[in-house]
Structure 1
Amino acid sequence: HPSLAYNYNNIGSVYDSMNNYPSALSYYRKALDIQQKSLPPYHADLANTYNNIALVYQATDDYSTALSYYQKTLEMKEISHPYNQSLIAIAYNNIGDMHRLKGDYLTALSYYEKTLPILQKFLPSNHTSLAILNANIAMAFKDLCQYKEAAKHAEQAVNIARCTFGLHHSKTMAYQKLLDDLRQN
């Protein structure tokens, strides 16, 4: 029954938050099994469960498996929520993150660059998601030794974080450190 899948997903989330990834994965898989049997093939709940599974694999540094689940999440969201571009943007960003962590910086940038105009369209200019995305873009450019472009995005991340969090917040300071490091190159 689909409501049982919902409960399994919630239990998985609790284990996930406790960093008990094997148990989290077990419950997410139980939820997925029920959903695949009881829901239409592109139901939004399936996308959520695929995303949860991807998060577990990401947390355990299995980026290739996480990437495959994030790609399933994107496919589901494109079909089940074609007009909800912010959900699709999150999926793009997650896929970009996995490519960056796997060392495929150009592919990561292509996904981040798909994400940026969507977030800029739907979010206020000082939204934390834009700070995070700009920091991601900066790190990908840094990994490609394109320091000037990296610094531009790091500076945007710093400016947003200052407005949103203040000068002494850990995110603001982390983005500032990234920017300072880039300016030395």
Structure 2
Amino acid sequence: MGKYSKALKEYKEALKINLTTFPLNHPHIGTSYHNLATVYMNLGERSKALSLYRKALSIYTKTLSSNHLVLATIHSSIGLLYYYMGNYSEALSYYEKAIQLYQNALLLNHPYLTTLYNNIGLTYLAMGSYSKALLSHKNALEIKQKIFSSNHSTIAISYKNIGNVYFEMKEYSKALSCYENALKIRKKNIPFDNNILINYYNSIG
């Protein structure tokens, strides 16, 4: 909590300076709103976060090119906020807009796309749409396998996410296989007694 309070103070000061330095629709002011919104989201003050995200999006839309990747970032942030608010349809809408921006820029294997596909997968899982959740997590894994080493910890995360979906689908043998793949990778990256590793063992158990 302390680090967020400090960040909030600093970002408010930055916004104050930017408002006296730049025109009201300058991207720097949009960035200040964006940063403040993220802190408020982490503090659980979601209505404040949403209001600030919308201000940032409005500024970015007016001042940046239509395919600028900052727009992808803000759409992803708003999508995550809606996910936390339990508004899954809105979350998916913003995530899909972010993905479209990366696709328009021909960045089909960009690392951030894996985060978006992961978040979409988690959203579909929360909605009980398991086949769509599975597809999204597999999309994330496919990109990761192209850009990261085979033992990268982020690949283990995707295997665990896929395993979680299979578990909810009651396809336990497939879930177990995914958990074992995840554990195999994790064991190469972290100490045996690490809490993360224990969590992976619990998934298998």
RMSD: 1.5
Q: Does 1:97 find its partner at 2:151? A: no
Structure 2: gaps of 5 or more residues: 1-25
Checking the alignment, whether the CA contact within 8 Å between 2:151 and 2:185 is kept in structure 1 is yes
2:183 to 142, 154, 158: 158
What displacement does 1:85 show?
3.1
User: What is the CA deviation profile of residues 134-166 of structure 1, one whole-angstrom value per residue up to 9, with x for unaligned ones?
Assistant: 111001111111111110111112222222222
Checking the alignment, whether the CA contact within 8 Å between 2:163 and 2:175 is kept in structure 1 is yes
Aligned-residue sequence identity (percent) comes to 32
- List structure 1 segments (4+ residues) > 3 angstroms apart after TM superposition: none
2:143 to 105, 118, 132: 118
Q: Which residue of 1 aligns with 2:55?
A: 30
Q: Does 1:141 find its partner at 2:166? A: yes
Checking the alignment, whether the CA contact within 8 Å between 1:78 and 1:88 is kept in structure 2 is no
Residues of 1 paired with 2:106 and 2:60: CA distance?
A: 18
Residues of 2 paired with 1:70 and 1:168: CA distance?
A: 36
What displacement does 1:83 show?
4.7
Q: How many residues were matched structurally?
A: 180
Scaled by the length of structure 1, what TM-score is found? Answer: 0.90
- Tell which deviates more after alignment, 149-158 or 18-27: 18-27
Q: Which residue of 2 aligns with 1:62?
A: 87
Residues of 2 paired with 1:123 and 1:32: CA distance?
A: 31
Q: Which has the higher contact order (CA 8 A, sep 6+)?
A: 1
Structure 1: gaps of 5 or more residues: 181-185
- Tell which deviates more after alignment, 129-138 or 109-118: 109-118
User: What is the CA deviation profile of residues 81-136 of structure 1, one whole-angstrom value per residue up to 9, with x for unaligned ones?
Assistant: 52543232322222122111110111111122222121012112222211211111
Larger Rg computed on CA atoms: 2
